[in-house]
Chains A and B, each alone.
Chain A
Amino acid sequence: MSPKPFAIPGGIHPPGFKELSNGEPIAPAPLPDLLVFPLQQHIGVPAEPVVRVGDRVLKGQVVARAGGYVSVPVHASTSGRVVAIEDRPVPHPSGLRAPCIVVKPDGEDAWGERVPLPDWQSVEPSRLRSAVREAGIVGMGGAGFPTFIKLSPGPGKVVDTVIVNGAECEPYITSDDRLMRERPEEVVAGARIARHAVQARRCVIGIEDNKPEAYEALRRAAGDGVEVELVPTLYPTGGEKQLVRILTGREVPSGKLPLDVGVVVQNVATVAAMYRALERGEPLVSRVVTVTGPGVGRPRNLEVAFGTPVAHLLSQCDPRPAQVRALVMGGPMMGFALHDDAVPVVKTSNCVLVDVPTAPAEPALPCIRCGSCSRACPMSLLPQQMYWYSRAKDFDRAREYNLFDCIECGCCAYVCPSHIPLVQYFRFAKSEIVSLDRDRQRADLAKSRHARRVERLEAEKREREERLQQKKKAPAGAAPGAVSEDPKGAATQAAVERARAKQAAKAESDTEAGS
């Protein structure tokens, strides 16, 4: 029998609503008329397009390559023709537009070249990581951090445990649940790949105990070397740091990563994608998305090609007519409202909620300092203090109360008897602080550039003065020599010197303007 899991502080038990969709098997969603691939579907630097309008692309072909180290390529999710590269609405809380590659599918769904790496057990971890990167794999649980970086512990760091996150603690979402039930062998093989990539000793798949079918399926598939553990159902058990604590008893220090305590956490969908990339050579081109909520007549779990507009997904689930459609991407606790139903499904979209009320029904009242938020906080923070300082825009103080350790899970706002939108205050304060830091960096850059310029101008001035001094001295020594030669030669000499001086002056003004 497995050891008793460790407990986390705080947490809540929101109603699950998982039964709406957890009986629906994964079904492929038909392709829409147009696919939209945002260049940024991950945390980090956006990808750079490598195709042009009019190009024909095949399924799995790279349409945009990684734009930096913290970046991954984007692949076409079906075959077709590139019809545009332009700004389009993307799934982001801002509702802003961002650069996207638009592809019109040709209906053939023809794969490009697939290069599997079936002997991954015997290859170097570094090769494994680069294969994971080439496949465009990012954390599919929601954050979208490039997976190959999480699999690179770096020098001096030892990873002894890989945790595969199958907790799926947010209400409504069932995409990971269905994936574990229907493709347990992919998840287990992916877990082994992750373990090999970081050379870990132990590999644990953690599942909340409200998903007994998924647990059974994985346990049957697990075999040697992969543990499957049930963890108590409690939101936010699926938080990375929470799951580490529950399964290993280790606490990730403030401002650190699970890597710093020897653990790497990967979502079940991410490891399944790693399996597909290595065993079948298929890059990340689709994922399972739960479409659920009171606004659809038939909640479903769909295997969706990336780039499919949310509106197209809705049409597959018998949407109920609604005056105002409230769409949320992600779960009701941590998801964000969509401003447009044309936004595409991307690598991090695990769920689309239709007409699920997320904002508290009642208006916010004054804080009564009851302290419920502190008891509910799974990070052991003091949301009340952070709230006061964020509200007063006293960002230094908010930071002192470890605002940046907040995972924005929403437990505090959920239990708040005054219905204060605490998470909104924290998000506001965080983005404001990040922006101020960016301004500061820019100011420092400007300061150093200004200092260098002043230095350069002074150096030039000194040089000019020195030259002047030399010229003053020069005639005394040079003039007699020039006179002794024939007049013609002296004239040529003088012309050559004039030309040289002119050239030097020009070069100088060039470098001046160019520097």
Chain B
Amino acid sequence: MIIAVAALTLLAGLFGLVLGYSSVRFRVEGDPVVDQIDGLLPQMQCGQCGLPGCRQYAEAVARGEAEINLCVPGGANVVKALADLLGRDPGSGDAAEGPKGRQVAVIDEPWCVGCTVCAQTCPVDAIVGSAKHLHTVLRSECTGCALCVDPCPVSCIRMETVPEDLRTWKWAYPAPAREAA
């Protein structure tokens, strides 16, 4: 009887120590689910979900405060991926639209007055130029979020769809033959 109590007490103490140590030693900073969600988002930082950036949206989704179908640029693929990850319903309301092909902002340079507003709006610093000098968009860095379009005082920024070339061309889904017959 005493041996049993002693043995169990000893074991409990031992496990307590191990657990206590590991909770300090292997502590995870932040919420790993947020990182996973963030990793699925297209990182446009466009704010179309109603939150300032992708990270904030990921945090809101992880807390369960936001629906998973709010990411417009991500489209149905992201909704599906989030539903798979979180085991949640794709959600009610408007299903997010699919992407329409890559878009980039283009500054009509002769009109640019060098106000620097667009450069300050760009969430990924993809616009370069200095005060009273013309600005230009780094095509390769632009995410196509369109946040710079509205603030421009002379409306010289427009969105352009990047044309398909040999590198981005994709094979089509084979024509659905009469397989269901």
Docked Cα-Cα span, A93 to B170, in Å, equals 10
A463 within 8 A of B: no
Docked Cα-Cα span, A459 to B130, in Å, equals 20
Contact between B129 and A513 (Cβ–Cβ < 8 Å)?
A: yes
From A90, A364, A446, A514, name the one whose CB has the most chain B CB atoms within 10 angstroms: A446
C-beta contact mask, B52-89 vs A, less than 8 Å → 1, else 0? 01100000000000000000000000000000000000
Contact between A428 and B172 (Cβ–Cβ < 8 Å)?
A: yes
Residues in A neighbouring B130, C-beta threshold 8 A: 509-510, 513-514
Residues in B neighbouring A94, C-beta threshold 8 A: 164, 166, 169
B26 within 8 A of A: no
Contacts known (A94-B166, A363-B178); A446 close to B131, Cβ less than 8 A = no
Residues in A neighbouring B54, C-beta threshold 8 A: 447, 450
Minimum CB–CB distance from A26 to chain B (whole Å) comes to 30
Q: Which of B43, B45, B116, B165 contacts A96 (CB 8 A)?
A: B165
Residues in B neighbouring A502, C-beta threshold 8 A: none
Residues in B neighbouring A425, C-beta threshold 8 A: 174
State which of B5-13, B90-98, B119-127 sits at the interface with chain A. B119-127
Minimum CB–CB distance from B143 to chain A (whole Å) comes to 5
Contacts known (A90-B166, A421-B174); A513 close to B123, Cβ less than 8 A = no
Minimum CB–CB distance from A429 to chain B (whole Å) comes to 9
A443 within 8 A of B: yes
B141 within 8 A of A: yes
Minimum CB–CB distance from A387 to chain B (whole Å) comes to 10
Contact between B116 and A513 (Cβ–Cβ < 8 Å)?
A: yes
Contact between B171 and A427 (Cβ–Cβ < 8 Å)?
A: yes
Contact between A447 and B43 (Cβ–Cβ < 8 Å)?
A: yes
Contact between A365 and B174 (Cβ–Cβ < 8 Å)?
A: no
Residues in A neighbouring B123, C-beta threshold 8 A: 450, 453
Docked Cα-Cα span, A447 to B143, in Å, equals 10
C-beta contact mask, B148-175 vs A, less than 8 Å → 1, else 0? 0000000000000000111011111110
Contact between B166 and A40 (Cβ–Cβ < 8 Å)?
A: yes
Residues in A neighbouring B174, C-beta threshold 8 A: 421, 424-425, 428
Contacts known (A363-B178, A514-B129); A446 close to B124, Cβ less than 8 A = yes
Q: Which of B131, B135, B143, B177 contacts A364 (CB 8 A)?
A: B177
B97-112 at interface with A (beta carbon < 8 Å): none
Residue of A whose beta carbon sits closest to that of B163: A96
Minimum CB–CB distance from A392 to chain B (whole Å) comes to 11
Residues in A neighbouring B116, C-beta threshold 8 A: 509, 512-513
Contacts known (A424-B174, A431-B170); A449 close to B119, Cβ less than 8 A = no
C-beta contact mask, A345-374 vs B, less than 8 Å → 1, else 0? 000000000000000000111100000000
Q: Which of B45, B135, B173 contacts A450 (CB 8 A)?
A: B45
Contact between B169 and A96 (Cβ–Cβ < 8 Å)?
A: yes
Contacts known (A435-B170, A453-B124, A514-B128); A446 close to B177, Cβ less than 8 A = no
Contact between A364 and B141 (Cβ–Cβ < 8 Å)?
A: no
Residues in B neighbouring A427, C-beta threshold 8 A: 171
Docked Cα-Cα span, A446 to B126, in Å, equals 9
B51 within 8 A of A: no
Contact between A450 and B43 (Cβ–Cβ < 8 Å)?
A: yes
Q: Which of A40, A432, A450 contacts B170 (CB 8 A)?
A: A432
Q: Which of A98, A366, A445, A452 contacts B166 (CB 8 A)?
A: A98
Docked Cα-Cα span, A390 to B102, in Å, equals 24
Docked Cα-Cα span, A446 to B124, in Å, equals 6
A438-463 at interface with B (beta carbon < 8 Å): 438-439, 442-447, 449-450, 452-453
Residue of B whose beta carbon sits closest to that of A506: B131
A515 within 8 A of B: yes
Docked Cα-Cα span, A447 to B165, in Å, equals 25
Interface size class of B (residues with CB under 8 A): 35 or more
Minimum CB–CB distance from B145 to chain A (whole Å) comes to 9
Docked Cα-Cα span, A363 to B179, in Å, equals 8
A397 within 8 A of B: no
Contact between A510 and B179 (Cβ–Cβ < 8 Å)?
A: no
Contact between A446 and B128 (Cβ–Cβ < 8 Å)?
A: no
Residues in A neighbouring B125, C-beta threshold 8 A: 449, 452-453, 515
Residues in B neighbouring A424, C-beta threshold 8 A: 171, 174
Docked Cα-Cα span, A453 to B141, in Å, equals 13
Contact between A446 and B171 (Cβ–Cβ < 8 Å)?
A: no
Q: Which of B165, B170, B180 contacts A98 (CB 8 A)?
A: B165
Docked Cα-Cα span, A102 to B143, in Å, equals 35
A56 within 8 A of B: no
Docked Cα-Cα span, A421 to B176, in Å, equals 10
A92 within 8 A of B: yes
Contact between B131 and A509 (Cβ–Cβ < 8 Å)?
A: yes
Q: Which of A365, A512, A513, A515 contacts B179 (CB 8 A)?
A: A365
Minimum CB–CB distance from B88 to chain A (whole Å) comes to 19
Q: Which of A363, A428, A449, A513 contacts B128 (CB 8 A)?
A: A513
Docked Cα-Cα span, A443 to B129, in Å, equals 24
Docked Cα-Cα span, A417 to B135, in Å, equals 61
Docked Cα-Cα span, A366 to B177, in Å, equals 9
Contact between B179 and A364 (Cβ–Cβ < 8 Å)?
A: yes
Contact between B168 and A446 (Cβ–Cβ < 8 Å)?
A: no
B1 within 8 A of A: no
Docked Cα-Cα span, A509 to B119, in Å, equals 11
B44 within 8 A of A: yes
Minimum CB–CB distance from A418 to chain B (whole Å) comes to 8
Q: Which of B41, B126, B166, B172 contacts A443 (CB 8 A)?
A: B41
The 10 closest A-B pairs by CB, nearest first: A364-B177, A443-B43, A449-B124, A431-B170, A446-B43, A427-B171, A424-B174, A94-B169, A447-B43, A510-B130
Q: Pick 12 A–B contacts, CB within 8 A, sort by A.
A: A40-B166, A96-B166, A364-B178, A366-B179, A366-B181, A420-B179, A421-B177, A428-B174, A435-B168, A446-B143, A449-B141, A453-B125
**B residues adjacent to A (C-beta < 8 A):** 38, 41-45, 53-54, 116, 119-120, 123-126, 128-131, 135, 141, 143, 164-166, 168-174, 177-181
**8 other A-B residue contacts (CB within 8 Å) besides A93-B171, A420-B179:** A363-B177, A363-B178, A366-B180, A424-B171, A428-B171, A443-B44, A447-B43, A450-B45
